[in-house]
Amino acid sequence: MQRSLVLGCLIALVVTGGEPDSASAQGMRGRLDWMFLTRDNDGATQPFINGPDAFNGSGINFDYESGYRVMLGFGTPTFEVEGQFTRVDEWRDSTFATLSQELVFDDSVNNPFIVGGTPGNTLGGNRAIVAAAMTPLTAMLDNETLEGEFLIPGAVATYAYQSDYYDLEVNLTTSRVNWFRVGLGYRHVRLNELSGFGVSGLFDALDVDDGQTVGGMSNDPNDGLSHSALTEAGLRHIAGGADGFNNLASGGGPDTVALALNSFANNRLNGFQGTFDANLADTEYFLVDLFARLGVFHNQSTAQVVEMVSGSGNDNSVYARTFQDSQNDFAMVTGAGVRLALKLNDFVRLHTGYEFIYIDGVALAPDQAFRVGPGNTFSIDNNGSVLIHGSRAGIEVVW
């Protein structure tokens, strides 16, 4: 709806423009661009799963996504003011992998009764289910260290990443009478992100000392991951039966257990920037110009991490914990680009170009998942950077 309205306005200006003076440094100008932009940071920097089936979401590829830019400007022989808005929605991709080895939740990675002497997979970062599986003694006297809790081979790991970008700037510059312009502007940038890691498979638990399970002569008690261990690790019971999870041989088994780790990051950048624009060539038929921007901005960043452990099939217990943090800090935004415009007449131009935008000092969603510390602590990571680049094509009307 917004794109159709803007395009319709520009077409109306072309048709009803009458006989205005030839385009010059004075007067109005409007432009509508279709943007085709990509990003460089495609996956998490740390592995969600360590081991022979290491998994960090590296298969994510944002490719080029379409967006739009709307510009409106007014010039005089002494100055020019210009405002523009850019939007790209939903850089998005996902990937998955099937684990060929066990995903072990506790410290018994080398236990031959669980992983058969070969290294098993473990979770990266500080995860509540790991803390629960390593609890020596709960309030209900469950000793999880007697058993190794894990997902059997065949578990499926998934990862998805999505990002949205909004950019508004208003600049006051010197006039187009000169071949170059310098100026100062206000800029507001929003970068909203979410990422999700998940792994799901059949849950089992075997005695660490001899691999016994239900029915074994020397089987240790518990035979699962108890409700008390999960809640003492910081998880809240939010749905289903408050009874933890049972191993494959238990009467209540088998249980399918899924771990979900969803991270959210929002950045609000506000500040001033210096601008530079220059005409490299300006003939009767075409125009070549370039631009550069550089500014230091205040960034209000917020982050949230939601970790969930849920059962399905024979057990529908659901546990979760949530972390939030925010910070006010400085960020830098810089960018440059070049444009080639074809002059259809004095008033209408078709153009294309290429540009990049580099943002440093922002919170990225995947990085937040690894900021959860021991003892249910969490602090936002806003030291990320983003390189956005791509082409544009559009129509400009001057009058």
Which pLDDT tens digit goes with each residue over 175-212? 988 889 999 999 999 999 999 999 999 999 888 877 77
Instruction: Give the separation between CA 288 and CA 282, rounded to whole angstroms.
Output: 6
- What is the distance between the alpha carbons of residues 197 and 159, in angstroms, rounded to a whole number? 4
Distance CA 125, CA 316 (A): 25
Is 80 exceeded by the pLDDT of residue 115?
A: no
Tens digits of residue pLDDT in 69-105: 999 999 998 999 999 999 998 899 999 999 999 999 9
Between 12 and 322, name the one with better pLDDT.
322
Give dist(CA 260, CA 45) in Å, integer: 18
Binned at pLDDT 50, 70 and 90, residue 3 comes out as: very low
Of the given ranges (155-159, 177-181, 259-263, 336-340), which has the lowest mean pLDDT? 177-181
b/e code 363-398 from CB counts within 10 Å (16+ = b): bbbbbbbbbbeeeeebebbbebebebbbbbebbbbb
pLDDT tens track for 368-387: 999 999 888 999 999 999 99
pLDDT at 329: 96
Do 396 and 31 touch, CB atoms closer than 8 A?
yes
- Which two structure tokens, joined as six digits, stand for 50? 């360590």
Span 214-266, pLDDT tens digits: 777 777 777 889 999 999 999 999 999 888 998 888 776 688 999 999 999 99
How sure is the predictor about 11, in pLDDT bands with cuts at 50, 70 and 90?
A: very low
Within a domain: residue 112? yes
> Is 14 part of any domain?
no
The secondary element (H helix, E strand) that includes residue 72 is strand 65-75
- Distance of alpha carbon 36 from alpha carbon 337, whole angstroms: 14
Average per-residue pLDDT for the chain: 88
Has residue 300 got a pLDDT over 90?
yes
> What is the distance between the alpha carbons of residues 5 and 32, in angstroms, rounded to a whole number?
11
- pLDDT confidence of residue 117: 67
Q: Kindly state whether residue 1 falls inside one of the protein's structural domains.
A: no
Residue 40 lies in a domain: yes
Q: Which of 139-143, 239-243, 295-299, 335-339 has the lowest mean pLDDT?
A: 139-143
Which has more confidence, 338 or 109?
338
- Is the pLDDT assigned to residue 32 strictly greater than 90? yes
- Residue 330 in domain: yes
Q: Which of 45, 130, 38, 40 is nearest to 381 (CA)?
A: 45
Residue 17 has pLDDT above 50, yes or no: no
- Alpha-carbon distances of 35 from 167, 278, 352, 354, 393, rounded to whole Å: 13, 21, 10, 10, 7
Which residues neighbour 273 within 8 Å (Cβ) at sequence distance 6 or greater?
A: 169, 171, 184, 185, 186, 187, 293, 294, 295, 297, 333
Please report whether residue 9 resides in a domain.
Answer: no
Does residue 23 lie within any of the structural domains? no
Instruction: Report the pLDDT value the prediction gives residue 396, as an integer from 0 to 100.
Output: 95
Which residues form the domain of 191? 36-64+76-387
Q: How many structural domains comprise the chain? A: 1
More confident residue, 332 or 46: 332
In a domain, 368, yes or no: yes
Q: What is the mean pLDDT of residues 347-364?
A: 95
What is the distance between the alpha carbons of residues 213 and 103, in angstroms, rounded to a whole number?
18
